[in-house]
């Protein structure tokens, strides 16, 4: 039985693969070939890369008579698995006019046919894990398809929508922000149990939580706008040194996708009036940290976040909700809406061991110079998130749905 479902592995495979294509239903061919900055990949590259993952790590090692559709795809659609071979440079993916979007679709059909035939046979535990890893990997790229195309479309003066039928999120006035005392003492964090997890969530281990309190909800657009209007972007003492340099070098004076008047924002549904009650998003770690200082608080550690989040059900605003935008809420919103910056560097847990072979490159080699985020976002699949899930971004990242929850020290 797979985590949270009783469907067969082949059915889950087919459903997950179909979900990727559904995200592109309203995208033109021209939309799917653009790379608007080095961090963004063209939609067709995402669709091909997740297909390559199954071909490289499942079909080639485990299906003796499998014939690749095109051997050259191994170079074009490898991402960062150097032990598996060389790859096309990430910042140049937008130069790949060939294979076409149609040819990528044919590549997906070719691999899907072979995968479903293999999944109809007996699947041992090791192979099932590889398939489950591939499906979770595809769900990560489903999120990237949405966040990357949002950046691509935002660069177009026409400001087109990725999905013209997206509903505007419902209006709601959030409850007042309060701080709840968090658990203290020796606590366990990290993955436990038999369900799927990534290697960076392990091993489960003890950590010390000192007296602290954690914010009852996410910071809103309206609250962040107060920070801007109070001169937050011009007050050097609020900023880390690298943050101060970054905002001035890049001319940041508001979250990504806000207009200069601080009244509108660009969304996957096109331009919309700024909802002052919705969680602020598309802010970097530097901006989140500066806001926290301005508010007389700090960002939570990932241990504080995880222990607090376990007290709440995973039922937030995810990609499944169909809004693809954070929504105003009067609950804690630990899950969904926005990835929440923590103050914790992305580092290995004590006793961490990466997966064997090339798959050991999945997480471990990125454990340097990045910050941990938690909770998922409005473009994350609901079934993809658990309290122990760790993701990570460089502190200057803004194109993902990244937001703010506050914490503060308590006691002496």
Q: Prior bond to 203 cis, omega within 30? A: yes
Statement: the pTM of the whole predicted model exceeds 0.85: yes
Q: Which CATH number fits domain 179-409: 3.90.930.12, 3.40.190.10, 3.40.640.10, 3.90.1580.10?
A: 3.90.1580.10
- pLDDT exceeds cutoff 60 at 56: yes
Q: What is the mean pLDDT of the chain?
A: 96
Q: What is the model's pLDDT at position 3?
A: 47
Distance CA 229, CA 235 (A): 11
> Quick check: 58 and 130 in contact, CB under 8 A?
yes
- pLDDT exceeds cutoff 70 at 117: yes
First to last CA, the chain: 48
Q: Whose structure tokens read 């436990």?
A: 192
pLDDT tier for residue 4 given thresholds of 50, 70 and 90 = very low
Torsion (CA) 172, 173, 178, 182 in degrees, nearest 10: 0
- pLDDT exceeds cutoff 60 at 137: yes
> Quick check: 264 and 274 in contact, CB under 8 A?
yes
What tens digit of pLDDT does each residue of 233-275 get?
A: 999 999 999 999 999 999 999 999 999 999 999 999 999 999 9
As a whole-number percent, the residues of the chain with pLDDT over 70 amount to: 99
Q: What is the model's pLDDT at position 2?
A: 42
Beta partners for residue 391, in sequence order: 373
What tens digit of pLDDT does each residue of 271-287 get?
A: 999 999 999 999 999 99
> Quick check: 205 and 172 in contact, CB under 8 A?
no
As a whole-number percent, the residues of the chain with pLDDT over 90 amount to: 92
Beta partners for residue 408, in sequence order: 213
> Quick check: 116 and 66 in contact, CB under 8 A?
no
Distance CA 277, CA 328 (A): 5
- pLDDT exceeds cutoff 70 at 412: no
Distance CA 127, CA 54 (A): 11
Listing DSSP states for 43-82 in one string gives HHHHHHHHHHHHIIIIIHHH-TT---S-TTHHHHH--S-G
What tens digit of pLDDT does each residue of 309-360 get?
A: 999 999 899 999 999 999 998 889 999 999 999 999 999 999 999 999 999 9
């Amino acid at each position: 039985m797979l985590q949270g479902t009783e469907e067969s592995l082949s059915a889950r495979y087919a459903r997950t693969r179909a979900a990727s294509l559904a995200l592109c239903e309203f995208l033109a061919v021209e939309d799917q070939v653009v790379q608007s900055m080095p961090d963004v990949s063209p939609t067709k590259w995402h669709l091909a890369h997740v297909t390559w993952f199954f071909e490289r790590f499942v079909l080639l090692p485990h299906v003796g008579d499998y014939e690749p559709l095109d051997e050259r795809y191994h170079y074009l659609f490898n991402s960062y698995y150097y032990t598996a071979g060389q790859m096309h440079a990430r910042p140049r993916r937008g130069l790949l006019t060939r294979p076409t979007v149609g040819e990528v679709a044919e590549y997906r059909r070719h691999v899907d046919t072979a995968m479903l035939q293999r999944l109809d046979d007996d699947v041992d535990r090791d192979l099932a894990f590889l398939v489950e890893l591939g499906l979770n990997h595809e769900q990560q790229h489903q999120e990237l398809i949405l966040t990357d195309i949002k950046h691509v479309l935002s660069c177009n003066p026409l400001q087109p929508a990725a999905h013209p039928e997206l509903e505007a999120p419902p209006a709601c006035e959030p409850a007042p922000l309060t701080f709840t005392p968090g658990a203290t003492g020796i606590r366990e964090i990290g993955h436990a149990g038999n369900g799927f997890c990534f290697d960076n969530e392990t091993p489960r281990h003890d950590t010390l939580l000192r007296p602290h309190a954690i914010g009852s909800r996410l910071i809103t657009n309206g609250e962040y706008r107060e920070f801007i209007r109070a001169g937050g972007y011009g007050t050097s003492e609020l900023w880390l040194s690298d943050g101060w340099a970054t905002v001035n070098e890049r001319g940041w004076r508001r979250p990504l996708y806000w207009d200069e008047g601080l009244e509108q924002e660009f969304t996957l549904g096109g331009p919309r009036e700024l909802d002052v009650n919705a969680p602020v998003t598309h802010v970097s770690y530097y901006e989140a940290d500066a806001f926290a200082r301005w508010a007389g608080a700090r960002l939570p550690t990932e241990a504080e976040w995880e222990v607090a989040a376990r007290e709440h059900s995973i039922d937030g605003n995810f990609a499944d909700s169909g809004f693809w935008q954070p929504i105003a809420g009067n609950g804690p919103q630990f899950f969904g809406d926005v990835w929440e910056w923590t103050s914790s560097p992305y580092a290995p847990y004590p006793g961490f061991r990466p997966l064997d072979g090339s798959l050991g490159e999945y997480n471990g080699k990125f454990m340097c110079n990045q910050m941990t985020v938690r909770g998922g976002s409005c473009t994350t699949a609901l079934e993809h998130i658990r309290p122990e899930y760790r993701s990570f971004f460089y502190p200057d990242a803004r194109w993902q749905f990244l937001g703010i929850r506050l914490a503060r020290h308590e006691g002496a």
